[in-house]
Structure 1
Amino acid sequence: MKTFSILTLGCKVNQYESEAMKEIFEKNGYIEVDSETDVADVYVVNTCTVTNLSDRKSRQYIRRAKRENPDSIVCVVGCYSQVSPDEVKAIEGVDIIMGTTDRSRIFELVENFKKDKNQISIVKSLKGFTEFQHIEIDKESEMTRSYMKVQDGCNRYCTYCIIPYARGPIRSRTIEDSVEEAKRLSEAGYKELVLTGIHIGSYGKDLGDERLVDLIEEIAKVDGIERIRLSSIEPITITRDFLERIKATGKVCDHFHLSLQSGSNAVLKAMNRRYTREEYIETCDLIREYYPYVGLTTDIIVGFPGETDEDFEDTVDLVKRVEFSKIHVFKYSKRSGTPAAEMKNQVDGNIKIERSNRLLELSDKMMERFIEKNKNTTLEILFEEEKDGYMRGYSTNYIDCKIKTDLELKNQVRDAKIVAIDGESAIVEIERS
């Protein structure tokens, strides 16, 4: 019996690509094992490099894999190996090094390594790289929601971010190919698709006239796909035309993860974010015209170089003005190779902790208010799993909902009402016809 295990760090794109590599191994006779309880013949470490801490975690995962089975084949793929291939090569026990391309060759490279046991490295330069490489998921699954990668790369070059160097320039998957995968996923039983990419707002700019909204409209026509959710997007993607068209599909979830990073115009400019706090607020107001009960989530970096108390208060003011449903807070950490790492006026670590804690407290209160606002309204919930005695799932606006019931609800979309709040979850009752 040939076994494998995939250890994944980082974003939803990495999760999608890990799932696709898992299918490649399984189609070639391998069986997946849990690295926490079993040793594997092949370990794939899908790395992240968004911060220096991510690099360190990637190295820890690599060393752990070899420690668990010294005779195993260790494959290192992803953003860390793309940006720092020589560092990865130097780690004892690494057998195969790949970057962020050629994932579909993973099984082929494992078989090649078995022949002569010589280290293999196929990290390509991404300068001028224009090919969107297909790596797909089409297997039947007990899961109810699937990620679908439709875009790769980023041309934005925010000053704190290494990802444009790790993922290369923007490349988009064609609408035709995306629709074909959506059909396969529907046939495999998935009800919800989460469209993912490194910067999905730039979708289509390399294809000609096609844009993200055109892709959404075509995927929405696929029978069996009842919900479409967007991964992180930026305010510049959202226009009145965009909202009118996605609303008309009747399938796009009223949940937008709208990256903010800072509520200070001075900090946004230093980050090279290309929008102002005023434009961000206007975008949120526009979204609420079309989706009154929308779940707005965001990312915020605290302690960016030069962030003053006044800058941070601008962020707090914006957070209160917009009233997010949840905030993901990150304390700024230097990333070697980015302009921000060389900036003066680095912020003291204790100040970062204080600012982070303040935003997290605000986030908890806003989540409570958001669920309370939705109480006694009808929510559409996709039930996904039984856990802790409850059947659980997410509403379109991304409230974690649960119910005690004898009904068979897994992978069903049902209307329900919130009757009580339990921390960051909502207890619901099914509306019976």
Structure 2
Amino acid sequence: MKTVAFTTLGCRVNQYDTDAMKGLFLQNNYEAVDFDEKADIYVINTCSVTNMGEKKSRQLIRKAKRQNEDAYVIVTGCYAQLDPDAIAAIDGVNLVIGTNNRSKIVELVEQLESTERQINAVRDIMKESNFEEMPLFGNESDKARAFMKIQEGCNNYCSFCIIPYTRGKLKSRKIEDIVEEAKRLVDHGFHEIVLTGIHLGNYGVELPDRPTLADVVKALLEIPELYRIRFGSIESVEVSDELVELMATDKRVCPNLHLP
């Protein structure tokens, strides 16, 4: 059985993406090991919010190759999306994936076995308009809390923030897909879910029926064994009266918010 190791830099959304990619490998009969161990495949999920994040990403790439010079080194995440050529130029990198196309990571890794060339799978994120379904597979865990990404991208283009250029435009997940994943997580022992996204408070504004974050919460509260719902960062001006009412009236919705 081949082994795969993961490491993650950056935000909770990145952590969710790593957990989802890990699930894809486990579903295909790979064994996950610690990043400090010798592995056949190393996946580095990078961050580009700060220069320090980029520097640490490069260090981890080199560390992986030192641990096993014959391993495949896979680089994904925001730094890979922003500057794939710089990533590809680092000695030892075999596959570059940005912040999309990661649902095919196992397939792309297995393509490496039939070719000697490096694969660059980064696509223009600005042309992507649909949320990439990459659900968690309820990996075995001793934890009761799971992070779930329900929204991707941002349309604000603030002058100080690079995120829209690494994650693309706003993309929201359909409520039925959110509920389906939540039920699967509950079945695997995760009774607390943290809803995350790049611009969580803007969930649903681009979808035809314009569902809101409150609509997501109400749908999740229909799951009997989901005991607690938390939120990732959300802008204060995007906290609706309906969401406040849910926090005030249902004890399963945690009555605290992280306001950046």
Q: TM-score range by the shorter chain?
A: over 0.9
1:292-331 per-residue CA deviation (whole Å, 9 max, x = no partner) reads: xxxxxxxxxxxxxxxxxxxxxxxxxxxxxxxxxxxxxxxx
Provide the residue aligned with 1:370 in structure 2.
none
TM-score, length-scaled by structure 2 = 0.96
Are 2:102 and 1:98 equivalent residues in the alignment? Answer: no
In structure 2, how many angstroms separate the alpha carbons of the residues matched to 1:28 and 1:117?
23
In structure 2, how many angstroms separate the alpha carbons of the residues matched to 1:159 and 1:223?
43
| Aligned ranges 1:71-90 → 2 under 5 Å | 71-90=70-89
Task: Please tell me the residue identity of whatever aligns with 1:242.
Answer: L
Rg larger for? 1
Provide the residue aligned with 1:202 in structure 2.
202
Provide the residue aligned with 1:158 in structure 2.
158
Provide the residue aligned with 2:170 in structure 1.
170
SS in 1 for 2:113: helix
Contact 1:217 1:249 in 2 (8 A): no
SS in 1 for 2:216: helix
| Offset at residue 158 of structure 1 (A) | 2.1
Task: Please tell me the residue identity of whatever aligns with 1:166.
Answer: T
Contact 1:5 1:35 in 2 (8 A): yes
Provide the residue aligned with 2:240 in structure 1.
239
In structure 1, how many angstroms separate the alpha carbons of the residues matched to 2:70 and 2:8?
21
1:252-299 per-residue CA deviation (whole Å, 9 max, x = no partner) reads: 11221001xxxxxxxxxxxxxxxxxxxxxxxxxxxxxxxxxxxxxxxx
The sequence identity of aligned pairs, in percent, is: 47
SS in 2 for 1:116: coil
Provide the residue aligned with 2:251 in structure 1.
250
Contact 2:152 2:198 in 1 (8 A): yes
In structure 2, how many angstroms separate the alpha carbons of the residues matched to 1:107 and 1:240?
43
Task: Please tell me the residue identity of whatever aligns with 2:57.
Answer: S
Listed as ranges, the gaps of 5+ residues in structure 2 are none
TM-score, length-scaled by structure 1 = 0.58
In structure 1, how many angstroms separate the alpha carbons of the residues matched to 2:231 and 2:35?
31
| Offset at residue 163 of structure 1 (A) | 0.5
Provide the residue aligned with 1:214 in structure 2.
215
1:403-424 per-residue CA deviation (whole Å, 9 max, x = no partner) reads: xxxxxxxxxxxxxxxxxxxxxx
Contact 1:216 1:246 in 2 (8 A): no
SS in 1 for 2:225: coil
1:348-389 per-residue CA deviation (whole Å, 9 max, x = no partner) reads: xxxxxxxxxxxxxxxxxxxxxxxxxxxxxxxxxxxxxxxxxx
Task: Please tell me the residue identity of whatever aligns with 1:198.
Answer: I
| Offset at residue 247 of structure 1 (A) | 2.9
SS in 2 for 1:74: strand
In structure 2, how many angstroms separate the alpha carbons of the residues matched to 1:34 and 1:239?
41
1:81-116 per-residue CA deviation (whole Å, 9 max, x = no partner) reads: 100111001111100000000111111011100111
SS in 2 for 1:176: helix
Contact 2:214 2:242 in 1 (8 A): no
Contact 1:217 1:246 in 2 (8 A): no
Higher strand share: 1
Provide the residue aligned with 1:10 in structure 2.
10
In structure 2, how many angstroms separate the alpha carbons of the residues matched to 1:207 and 1:102?
21
1:186-237 per-residue CA deviation (whole Å, 9 max, x = no partner) reads: 1111110000111111100111321111111111111210100000000111
Task: Please tell me the residue identity of whatever aligns with 1:227.
Answer: R
In structure 2, how many angstroms separate the alpha carbons of the residues matched to 1:103 and 1:127?
16
Listed as ranges, the gaps of 5+ residues in structure 1 are 260-433
In structure 1, how many angstroms separate the alpha carbons of the residues matched to 2:116 and 2:10?
29
Are 2:43 and 1:32 equivalent residues in the alignment? Answer: no
| Aligned ranges 1:319-358 → 2 under 5 Å | none
More RCO (CA 8 Å, sep 6+): 2
